[in-house]
């Protein structure tokens, strides 16, 4: 009598993972970039929130993107740190590329909106009083110097996060194509 094979055991392919699991993932360039995405994304979130969101229609999207991708990148890194990626049968190289592509699109839009909100400030200081003249752009924002300075730094960090997500997407694309 022949023993029947279990069809469920033979039908699912093994997961495709090029990144190491555990703490070794942090020693790779991809793991280091994910850590930078988390740190810089958290800074964007903190900086925009500390400026009291003076332009909520633009900076609301920046806050949404920074908080959402901070949590998603933290969960993504936790999958590799805890070794859970090995238990989920999927092509992790493809998922890595798609995740970082979507994150790149979202963060690029957030960077552009944060830069627009910051560049819309039009002030002339005369004897420490604010005088408003005709703006050069269609966006007018009213920020004090503290809010303006915080938003400039948030714009710079949003650019850094965008570059990190772009590099991660490129590295994920190279791993996927192999």
DSSP for 71-121, please give it.
Answer: HHHHHHHHHHHTTGGGTS-SBHHHHHHHHHHHHHHHHHHHHHHHHHHHHTB
- What is the pLDDT, as a whole number, of residue 136? 58
Of the two residues 145 and 66, the one the predictor is more confident about is: 66
CA separation for the pair 150, 128 (Å, rounded): 19
For position 140, what pLDDT does the model report? 62
* CA 97 – CA 82 distance, rounded (Å): 20
Using the predicted structure, report yes or no on whether residue 85 has a pLDDT greater than 50.
yes
Strands (E), the chain: 124-126, 129-131
The 3-state DSSP class for residue 141 equals: strand
Q: How many CB atoms lie within 10 A of CB 137?
A: 10
Q: Reply yes or no on whether the pLDDT at 152 is more than 80.
A: yes
Residue 77: Cβ within 10 Å count: 17
CA distance 54 to 48: 9
Tens-digit pLDDT profile for residues 118-151: 887 755 443 445 545 555 556 666 778 888 899 9
Give the rounded percent of residues in the chain with a pLDDT score beyond 70: 80
- What pLDDT is stored for residue 162 in this prediction? 97
* pLDDT > 90 fraction of the chain, expressed in percent and rounded: 46
Per-residue pLDDT, averaged over 154-158, amounts to: 96
- How many residues in total does the chain contain? 178
Select, from the ranges 85-89, 139-143, 152-156, the one with the highest average predicted confidence (pLDDT). Answer: 152-156
Is pLDDT above 60 for 106? yes
* 100 or 177: which leads in pLDDT: 100
How is residue 20 annotated by DSSP? P
Q: Are 157 and 51 in contact (CB under 8 A)?
A: no
Give the burial class of 53: count Cβ atoms within 10 A of its Cβ; 0-12 exposed, 13-18 middle, 19 or more buried.
middle
Count of CB atoms situated within 10 Å of the CB of 103: 25
Nearest-angstrom CA–CA distance, 33 and 103: 13
């Amino acid at each position: 009598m022949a023993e029947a094979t279990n069809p469920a055991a033979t039908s699912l392919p093994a997961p495709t993972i090029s990144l190491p699991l555990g703490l070794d993932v942090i020693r790779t360039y991809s793991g280091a970039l994910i850590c930078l995405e988390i740190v810089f994304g958290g800074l964007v979130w903190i900086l925009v929130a500390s400026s009291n969101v003076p332009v909520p229609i633009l900076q609301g999207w920046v806050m949404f993107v920074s908080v959402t991708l901070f949590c998603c990148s933290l969960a993504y890194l936790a999958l590799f740190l805890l070794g859970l990626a090995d238990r989920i049968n999927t092509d992790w190289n493809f998922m890595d590329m798609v995740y970082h592509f979507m994150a790149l699109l979202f963060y690029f839009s957030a960077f552009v909106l944060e830069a627009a909100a910051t560049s819309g400030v039009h002030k002339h200081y005369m004897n420490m009083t604010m005088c408003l003249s005709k703006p050069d752009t269609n966006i007018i924002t009213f920020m004090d110097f503290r809010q303006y300075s915080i938003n400039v730094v948030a714009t710079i960090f949003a650019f850094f996060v965008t570059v990190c997500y772009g590099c991660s997407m490129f590295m994920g694309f190279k791993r996927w194509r192999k």
